[in-house]
């Protein structure tokens, strides 16, 4: 039985939307997100507009099949309702092209933030966060503020 080696996380970026090329690979990232101003609903909750998390994996030594997902979490590490996305399967054979890293795009729809604050977006591989293997690779953070809806750049 071959040893399974998961890929490492190279990049995770929150943005408003992404253009894909003819091979469905991210080509152009639009409006990187640092903060969102969201008008509260009647219950005082903050319904987010649709946005994406673009992930680039370093698959140079990766071998095996893995499931990847993204999770939106509170500052106290609690996954938000609708904050865990449907997993995507990816298989790696150990023969990666260094000029074409593996890219994944996760789209958050219908996400409602319970209150203003900082929210973290974790990239998960087989139920384990890819963040933290390297102290520099902390999960992307989004500041959510009450206010007029904006693009959040």
pLDDT (tens digit, 9 = 90+) per residue, 11-40? 899 999 999 888 888 888 999 999 999 999
Q: How far is CA 84 from CA 42, 97, 153, in A?
A: 25, 30, 23
Residue 150 has pLDDT above 60, yes or no: no
Cα–Cα distances in Å, from 113 out to 81, 141, 147?
Answer: 9, 13, 13
Q: How many other CB atoms are there within 10 angstroms of residue 46's CB atom?
A: 23
Q: Where are the domains of the chain?
A: 8-146
* CA–CA distance, 46 with 37 (Å, rounded to integer): 9
CATH numeric code, 8-146: 2.60.40
pLDDT of 3 reads 82
Mean pLDDT for 90-115 is 89
Is residue 44 within 8 Å of residue 114, measured between CB atoms? Answer: no
What does the pLDDT look like over 120-140, one tens digit per residue? 999 999 999 988 755 567 889
Are the CB atoms for 88 and 104 separated by under 8 Å?
A: yes
pTM of the model as a whole: 0.88
What is the spatial distance between Cα 114 and Cα 97, in angstroms, rounded to a whole number?
A: 42
């Amino acid at each position: 039985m071959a040893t399974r080696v998961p890929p490492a996380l190279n990049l995770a970026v929150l943005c408003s939307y992404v253009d894909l090329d003819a091979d469905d690979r991210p080509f152009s990232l639009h409006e990187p997100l640092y903060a969102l101003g969201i008008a509260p609903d009647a219950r005082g909750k903050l319904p987010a507009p649709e946005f994406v998390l673009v992930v680039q994996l370093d698959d140079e030594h990766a071998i095996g099949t893995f499931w990847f997902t993204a999770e939106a979490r509170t500052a106290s590490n609690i996954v938000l309702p609708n904050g865990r996305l449907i997993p995507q399967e990816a298989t790696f054979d150990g023969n990666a092209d260094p000029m074409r890293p593996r890219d994944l795009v996760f789209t958050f729809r219908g996400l409602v933030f319970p209150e203003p604050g900082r929210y973290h977006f974790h990239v998960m591989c087989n139920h384990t966060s890819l963040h933290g293997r390297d102290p520099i690779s902390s999960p992307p953070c989004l500041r959510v503020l009450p206010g007029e809806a904006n693009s959040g750049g």
